[in-house]
Amino acid sequence: MTRVVLGSASAGRLRVLQQAGIDPLVVVSAVDEDALVASLDPGTPPEAVVAKLANAKAVSVAAQLPDEVSADCVVLGCDSLLYREGALCGKPGSPDAARQQWLTMAGSTGQLLTGHALLRIFAGVITHTGGETGSTTVHFGTPTEPELDAYVASGEPAGVAGAFTLDGLGGWFIERIEGDPANVIGLSLPLVRGLVAEMGLSVAALWAANAPAD
Catalytic residues: 79
CB neighbourhood size of 207 (10 A): 16
SS3 121: strand
Dihedral, CA of residue 202, residue 137, residue 79 and residue 49, to nearest 10? 110
Dihedral, CA of residue 88, residue 93, residue 96 and residue 97, to nearest 10? -10
93 sits in which H/E element: none
Dihedral, CA of residue 197, residue 48, residue 187 and residue 184, to nearest 10? -140
